[in-house]
């Protein structure tokens, strides 16, 4: 995407290095202002859960940057109806990885974009299957430190990729931003020009 296609300032309401990398991959120029919105939600279906959190994050930043385009996003892992977020410590990471080992889970990423007086919220999901992990593999991965800021305690784009046997859906959704949806939303909100 050429710089001239972008019509206004874009703010990513996140500190996520992965989301930042994906927006850069799209060729966008943007700034990062992490949201301080309340991320506590008591009960919601997974797709609604991530849409609500993405919306809260985007609205938090848009409230003080109303001339910019603001992108909020949130990602969760779901196994057997249990929402799995980021691990709180090594013990929690081991528990999560053992639970996901040999199973198929679903990754949901919600996106909210606010621009030009409008708001669009969408969600994408991808099924991911792990091979059976040994205790040694789990220990080794935890020691790498690559997992603590990631939903489900793993990063598909890093060394953990060797444990992914199957994926049904969009790779970028698992990383944390469904770039195809973001692109379409930015066009619809007249933030970028695709003509």
Active-site residues, by number, are: 74
195: its two tokens = 């003509």
**For residues 36 and 24, what is the distance between their CA atoms, to the nearest angstrom?**
23
Q: Of 62, 80, 82, which Cα lies nearest the Cα of 72? A: 62
Strand-pair category, 69-79 with 10-12: parallel
**H or E segment to which residue 168 belongs:** strand 164-168
């Amino acid at each position: 995407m050429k710089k001239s296609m972008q019509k206004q300032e874009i703010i990513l309401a996140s500190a996520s290095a992965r989301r930042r990398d994906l927006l850069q991959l799209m060729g966008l120029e943007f700034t990062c202002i992490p949201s301080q919105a309340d991320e506590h939600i008591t009960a919601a279906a997974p797709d609604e859960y991530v849409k609500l959190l993405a919306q809260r994050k985007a609205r938090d930043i848009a409230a003080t940057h109303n001339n910019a385009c603001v992108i909020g996003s949130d990602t969760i892992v779901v196994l057997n109806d249990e929402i799995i977020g980021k691990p709180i410590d090594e013990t929690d990471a081991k528990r999560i990885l053992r639970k996901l080992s040999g199973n198929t889970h679903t990754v949901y990423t919600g996106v909210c974009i606010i621009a030009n007086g409008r708001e669009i919220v969408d969600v994408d999901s991808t099924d991911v299957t792990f091979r059976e992990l040994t205790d040694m593999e789990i220990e080794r991965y935890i020691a790498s430190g690559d997992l603590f800021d990631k939903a489900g305690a793993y990063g598909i784009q890093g060394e953990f990729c060797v444990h992914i046997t199957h994926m049904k859906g969009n790779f970028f959704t698992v990383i944390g931003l469904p770039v195809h949806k973001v692109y379409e939303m930015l066009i619809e909100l007249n933030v970028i020009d695709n003509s």
